[in-house]
Chains A and B, each alone.
Chain A
Amino acid sequence: MEIFVQQLINGITLGSIYGLIAIGYTMVFGIIGMVNFAHGDVFMVSAFVALIASLILTTWLGISSVFLSLLIVLICAMLITSLISWTIERLAYRPLRGSFRLAPLISAIGMSIFLMNFVQVAQGPRNKPIPPFFQNVIVVMEKDGYEVTLAYKQIVIWAVTAILLAAFWYLVSKTSLGRAQRACEQDQNMASLVGVDVDRTISVTFIIGAALAAVAGTLYLMYYGVVSFADGFVPGIKAFTAAVLGGIGSLPGALLGGLLIGLIETMWSAYFSIDYKDVAAFSILVVTLIFLPQGLLGRPEVEKV
């Protein structure tokens, strides 16, 4: 029971991070029907940006307030990652719109390889550890000497995820931007006829996805305290799995899928085998796509001639 509660806490934390990345996948797939393969690497790049920003703040500027520095780091990471993602969309994906269907996917795979190796060349291949942001923990339960703990950093992750998702939900469902986005999702030609700037909307979609990935990247760095250039691939695939599991194109689905994947992964590691935890995640992806391709909350895809 105590182990279960502890894993529940860890799983929700991990799941929040996956959910934030998954939203980027699901939005881009919803609007242009493309698997943005480089999204996982954008997430990794954002973790590096956060790493460098936090090093500047702590070692050069000497800001001691943890919350203030976390806030600045988050904003820096979001801004710069959005800019990178915007440029990637502009240069690598937009020229391929209207090309044959696999072209953007191949371009995205190339972009993913490029980003990974770019960071490796620019920052070196070693793991980059940072001193922990928050070290305190709260003991939630205690039984027979086994303490169930809730770390401050986990609370921060939950809080940041919740606030960001609320803001994001408001943006998508209440503003004209979100309306334009949903219109483009349904029918791009029609949307452009009624005066929606489709190109701009797609750019904004990439920017929002990247900003959320940047939040995930910052939280990931804060949670694990270490990042390396290869850290984009596996979380990227897992977040994609989350998006598919929740129903690709569905925003609440992405979050739900993220939480489920996070929970399944931590539970699997705790009760079965830690070696095969990635196999578990990949198997879920395969099983979902084969038996439930529309996901938990998605609409089934209708095949038209």
Chain B
Amino acid sequence: MAVTSTDSPTPGGRADLLRACRDAAIAGLVTLGMMLPLIGFRTVQNINNELVLETRPGLLLTMILIVVAGSLVISLVIRPWRQRKAAAHVAGESVQRAHVRATIAKYLTPFAIGFVLVYPILSIVFAGWQGSVKWVDNFGIQVLIYVMLGWGLNIVVGLAGLLDLGYVAFYAVGAYSYALLAKEFGLSFWILLPLAGCLSAFWGILLGFPVLRLRGDYLAIVTLAFGEIIRLVLINWVSFTNGYAGISGIPRPTFFGIPFNANDDGFAAVFGLEFTPMYRTLFLYYVIVGLALLTAFVTLRLRKLPVGRAWEALREDEIACRSLGVNTTNTKLTAFAMGAMFAGFAGSFFAARQGFISPESFTFMESAMIVAIVVLGGMGSMIGVAIAAVAMIGGTEIMRDMDFLKQIFGNSFDPTQYRMLLFGLAMVLIMIWKPRGLISTREPSTFLKERKTVAASFVKEGRG
């Protein structure tokens, strides 16, 4: 946390040291000022329901010391190191490094797909039938849902360059479509999956129409407002959606008509296996793997079609696009529709997997999370988005059961509280560290003779 920075390379460590100390002192004072009310005091309700104050001087002091130490480390270790690195920087190196990364990426994809396919088997081998439920369901399926949502949003944000902060609305449309149609009409998962996708795509076009003229921040805010409107309608239209209480008892998906239960006509009995609830989890796992791969495949193919090229052209320069005769209306609407469709698939899968949905699952925080995954992964980069989803969702899921932290910080310490805190912090830090995301290079979709990686500095995107 360096507060002042006047970087002139001064000879002699003494001046540097003095300046570092001054910076650290200022940082400490600023922290004291900022944290005095919020950390120094804690408001608690006593038995008379009145608010009273408790003081936490120890915590405040610890925090200030951490900041001071961090500031000293930054100005004495990290900053000189970065300056040396910048001095030794050779032009063209970043392009070279991008090539190396692209080579890694080439072998990463088949490896990652293979790993995802054998992951449940591995987790059964290592954690046993009982223990692997957590790893396959809470971890695998959860991460894959977000990978799929990230890839879906990647079409809108990464390819077409339209920042959509209300993406979760389409996820909600998919989930409610499945829940309501399956409960009211008893339709099966495999009929409703495409239907929910179509309904979401329809909503994508519907909400896309009015925002065609908007760009950048304005577009982001309007989509946010749409997302919130849909959630508020879901909450308040009680006769249709059952409001806050949500919809429970949603029919679970079957193995092409064979239910996953312990009955005689259940999956285990039909195939002559011993019954465990794990079969359904495994089935759901492979369904979401299939859906995610479908998303990736469709996106990759679409990038090579005229519509995909129009998306990317639109992202780079809308005015140039229009003057070349690209129909921007259709281009934007197809991007919205495609993105929304995949959210609809993911939504109906989510409803089928949970068996219960409520508006609580479709808050703005969810949209922000998906946007964060896309942006942090590197907009437009499929592998980057997948890595970001694994890191962010997997990381926060792992935080749920980090019991060893309790031994350090005491029993009242609850790591799940810090999930979103760290999530927000990670968003800010990654933006500062790598504003173009983890993987900032791009594979061109068309090339002359030889495929060359497009280095980050040539990728202009997200101007929307």
Contacts and interface: CB of A to CB of B under 8 A. Distances in A.
Interface of A: 33-35, 45, 48-49, 51-53, 55-56, 59-60, 76, 79-80, 83-84, 87, 90-92, 95-96, 99-103, 105-107, 109-124, 126, 128-131, 233, 237, 240, 244, 275-276, 278-279, 282-283, 285-286, 289-290, 293, 303, 305
B418 A56 contact: no
B419 to A, nearest CB: 8
30 contacts: A35-B221, A48-B38, A52-B37, A52-B38, A52-B41, A52-B43, A56-B41, A80-B33, A80-B37, A91-B428, A92-B431, A100-B461, A101-B462, A101-B463, A102-B220, A103-B431, A105-B217, A106-B371, A109-B165, A113-B427, A117-B424, A118-B421, A120-B421, A123-B43, A275-B236, A276-B232, A278-B232, A282-B226, A283-B229, A286-B226
Interface stretch (B94-102, B186-194, B206-214, B268-276): B206-214
Contacts, number: 190
Given A96-B432, A110-B428, A290-B213, A105 B163 contact: yes
Given A124-B43, A279-B232, A289-B222, A106 B427 contact: yes
A1 to B, nearest CB: 29
A253 to B, nearest CB: 16
Given A51-B43, A52-B43, A130 B51 contact: yes
Contact of B36 (A80, A244, A283): A80
A30 to B, nearest CB: 13
Contacts of B226: 282, 286
Nearest to A293: B218
A124 B42 contact: yes
B136 interface: no
Contacts of B364: 233
Contacts of B33: 79-80, 83
B118 interface: no
Nearest to A240: B221
A59 B211 contact: no
Nearest to A104: B431
Given A52-B43, A83-B30, A113-B424, A102 B432 contact: no
A258 B322 CA distance: 37
B221 A289 contact: yes
B24 to A, nearest CB: 15
A101 B43 contact: no
B319 interface: yes
A270 to B, nearest CB: 17
Contacts of A110: 372, 423-428, 431
Nearest to A129: B51
B30 A112 contact: no
Contacts of A103: 431, 435
Contacts of B17: none
A83 B463 contact: no
Given A52-B38, A92-B431, A293-B214, 15 more contacts: A87-B30, A87-B34, A92-B432, A102-B462, A103-B431, A110-B424, A111-B424, A113-B365, A117-B420, A117-B423, A118-B421, A123-B38, A130-B51, A282-B228, A286-B229
Contacts of A237: 224-225, 228
**Secondary structure class of chain A's binding surface, majority of residues:** helix
B45 interface: yes
A101 B464 CA distance: 9
A4 to B, nearest CB: 25
B224 A120 contact: no
Contacts of A121: 417-418, 421
Given A55-B43, A100-B460, A107-B428, A113 B420 contact: yes
B326 interface: no
A116 B419 CA distance: 12
Contacts of B365: 113
B375 to A, nearest CB: 5
Contacts of B236: 275-276, 279
Contacts of B18: none
A101 B38 contact: no
Contacts of A60: 53
A120 B368 contact: no
B76 interface: no
User: Which 7 pairs from chain A and chain B are nearest by CB?
Assistant: A110-B427, A113-B424, A114-B424, A117-B421, A110-B428, A282-B225, A102-B462
B38 A285 contact: no
Nearest to A81: B34
Contacts of B262: none
Contacts of B423: 110, 113, 117
B52 to A, nearest CB: 7
A250 B425 CA distance: 32
A278 B229 CA distance: 8
A59 B375 CA distance: 47
A124 B431 contact: no
B53 A107 contact: no
A276 B368 CA distance: 23
Contact of A35 (B1, B34, B217): B217
A112 B51 contact: no
B364 to A, nearest CB: 7
B42 A123 contact: yes
A79 B372 CA distance: 32
B44 A124 contact: yes
Contact of A112 (B1, B216, B424, B462): B424
Contacts of B463: 100-102
Contacts of A96: 431-432, 435
Contact of A286 (B165, B225, B462): B225
B398 interface: no
A84 B35 CA distance: 9
Interface string B399-420: 0000000000000000001101
B431 A106 contact: yes
A80 B34 contact: yes
B368 A119 contact: no
Contacts of B163: 102, 105
A113 B216 CA distance: 21
Given A34-B217, A290-B222, A303-B319, A128 B34 contact: no
B309 to A, nearest CB: 21
Contacts of B117: none
A35 B319 CA distance: 23
Contacts of A244: 218, 221
B73 to A, nearest CB: 16
A279 B427 CA distance: 29
B454 interface: no
A16 B340 CA distance: 38
Nearest to A291: B210
